[in-house]
Structure 1
Amino acid sequence: MTHVTGNAPDGTPNWLDIGVPDLDRAKTFYGTLMGWQFEDTGEEAGHYHLCNLRGEPVAGMMRNPEGEADVYWWSVYFAADDCDGVLKRATDAGAQVVVPAMDVMDSGRMAVLRDPQGAHFGLWQGRSHPGSRIVNVPGSFVWNELVTRDSAAAGKFYRAVFGYELEPMPGGMDYTVLRRAGDGRYVGGVLGGSGIALGGGDDPVPSWTTYFAVDDADEAVRKVRAGGGTVESEPEDTPYGRSATVRDPFGVPFHVMKPAPEPQS
């Protein structure tokens, strides 16, 4: 388990949230699947809900403010010591601003952008709230991956914004691993080729998607189906763990994964 007690280094995925049309249904679905408890932050914060694991926030959830929206997704945020400075680097590199930099009470400062190929991502500069307090254990995120049409262009963009080192995966797969500059820590990946059909539609669009760790991928898939979600790919063993691709009742795609054991030194 990684217990986060302060702001992560720039470019580290540090928060997730989702806007949905039916908050109660989402809480039932994700509470059953992930073991989350929910904390309403109150009217001043628009009844934004913290998704807590072992009493610590790991993600956020709210009712989508767009009444006519029919597409929903998990938003991935990246740590930014200087939200405005990173925002400028991103727009200089071709990103479009979706939500300008703004303070979220005393919790932190945020912005939401769309990268040059159309994938949304957020920036989070933590203050009293550094982001996800627990990662890499069942009920929290373990990996984040961009699915996009042009992995080379995407890698160039995110390197310009966050200074990532890019490590192409051997074997002919169009996959690039993103490593944090300085310590070389793996923080995410870029899968080239197309995109994700958000909302279960037929038009794949570039998008970040999240792998949530679970104790048992097969049991997680059973819970997804029982909760009104759908399964796009059945659990499969990989060198990194046993995983499946699923959607929640609103069509939001994500992955469930039982990570492979850490190699013994």
Structure 2
Amino acid sequence: MVTRQSAPLGAPTWIDLSTSDPERAQQFYGTVFGWRFENSGPEYGGYVTASVDGRVVAGLMRNDPQWNAPDAWTTYLHTADADATVAAATAAGASNCVGVMDIPAKGRMAMLTDITNGFFGIWQPGGHDGFAVFNEAGAPTYHQLTTTDYARSLDFYRTVFSWNTETVSDTEEFRYSTANFDGEALVGVMDGSAFLPAGAPSVWSTFFGSDDVDKSIELIVANGGSVLRAAEDTPYGRLAAVADPTGAEFNLSSLPG
């Protein structure tokens, strides 16, 4: 199992699911990924933490209808100073959706939409260091921003989070860069302007590792989920896009052999 103490600054450090049916979500992800769950209690609003082999991997919370938002996964980027990051992000064109909040004995967080309306969070650890397992079955392996404005997105995240980016491809058919941390590509930025609907926001997505992507898809469908993009072999492994029973989207990725 690949474990770590914390993510590099500016990299994804935590993910959580806003769901209209937390009980069903626990059944679904427990079956598909083997997650175990612990309710943090009323002090934390009933927030549920998921673990793989005793290592925290994700969070789940109830989607409040007042938010008027679909069920979805959220990616949080690591910051050493949430207030400074919010200030830098808003100066660079972001909107601050949820101001900086103290989470007792855990850390500090805020929610933002970037310059192309991509929704994401920031997390300043203060007892909770983020997901402790990655690049394993049932754990995050990669994160991707599909953006409506490729150049502006890259400029934004370079400015606010000091991303070191590398161009993978720069053609009309496929324009893509990675953000590299300590020599490892942990984030991808894809130009989605040719296929995202007009007026749509940019979208952050999480890839979860699977020992057998096709078998994971069978479990997903059998437990009420759906397939958005069928499994296919790519230079980056076998990939698929799926959704859970209430429509929250995520991706599957095979693990290195």
Please tell me the TM-score bracket, short chain as reference. over 0.9
Task: Give the structure 2 partner of residue 209 of structure 1.
Answer: 205
* Alignment-mate amino acid for residue 176 of structure 1: S
| TM-score scaled by length of structure 2 | 0.93
Query: Is the contact made by 1:213 and 1:259 (CA closer than 8 Å) also made in structure 2?
Result: yes
Query: Is the contact made by 1:93 and 1:160 (CA closer than 8 Å) also made in structure 2?
Result: yes
Task: Give the structure 2 partner of residue 234 of structure 1.
Answer: 230
Task: Give the structure 1 partner of residue 4 of structure 2.
Answer: 4
Task: Give the structure 2 partner of residue 34 of structure 1.
Answer: 33
Displacement of 1:72: 1.8
Alignment RMSD (CA, Å): 1.9
Query: Is the contact made by 1:195 and 1:206 (CA closer than 8 Å) also made in structure 2?
Result: no
Query: Is the contact made by 1:196 and 1:205 (CA closer than 8 Å) also made in structure 2?
Result: no
* Structure 1 unpaired stretches of 5+: none
CA distances 1:142-191 after superposition (whole Å, capped 9, x unpaired): 000001111111000000011112211137311111123xx343220111
Displacement of 1:68: 7.0
Displacement of 1:66: 2.5
Displacement of 1:259: 2.5
Task: Give the structure 2 partner of residue 44 of structure 1.
Answer: 43
CA distances 1:213-233 after superposition (whole Å, capped 9, x unpaired): 011000111111111111011
* Structure 2 unpaired stretches of 5+: none
The one of 227, 245, 248 equivalent to 1:252 is: 248
Q: Which moved more, 1:26-35 or 1:64-73?
A: 64-73
Task: Give the structure 2 partner of residue 175 of structure 1.
Answer: 176
Equivalent-residue separation in structure 1 for 2:60 and 2:195 (angstroms): 21
* Alignment-mate amino acid for residue 4 of structure 1: R
Query: Is the contact made by 2:11 and 2:186 (CA closer than 8 Å) also made in structure 1?
Result: yes
* Alignment-mate amino acid for residue 96 of structure 1: S
Indicate the SS of the match to 1:187.
strand
* Alignment-mate amino acid for residue 2 of structure 2: T
Equivalent-residue separation in structure 2 for 1:59 and 1:195 (angstroms): 32
Indicate the SS of the match to 1:134.
coil
* Alignment-mate amino acid for residue 162 of structure 1: F
Distance change (3 Å), C-alpha of 1:195 and 1:15:
farther
Displacement of 1:234: 1.3
Equivalent-residue separation in structure 1 for 2:11 and 2:246 (angstroms): 27
Query: Is the contact made by 1:76 and 1:122 (CA closer than 8 Å) also made in structure 2?
Result: yes
Q: Counterparts in 2 of 1:105-144, with a 5 A limit?
A: 105-144=104-143
- Structure 1 vs Structure 2: percent identity of aligned residues? 37
Query: Is the contact made by 1:214 and 1:256 (CA closer than 8 Å) also made in structure 2?
Result: yes
Query: Is the contact made by 1:196 and 1:206 (CA closer than 8 Å) also made in structure 2?
Result: no
Indicate the SS of the match to 1:159.
helix
Displacement of 1:73: 1.2
Equivalent-residue separation in structure 2 for 1:100 and 1:112 (angstroms): 7
Equivalent-residue separation in structure 1 for 2:198 and 2:226 (angstroms): 15
Query: Is the contact made by 1:165 and 1:184 (CA closer than 8 Å) also made in structure 2?
Result: no
| TM-score scaled by length of structure 1 | 0.91
Distance change (3 Å), C-alpha of 1:19 and 1:153:
same
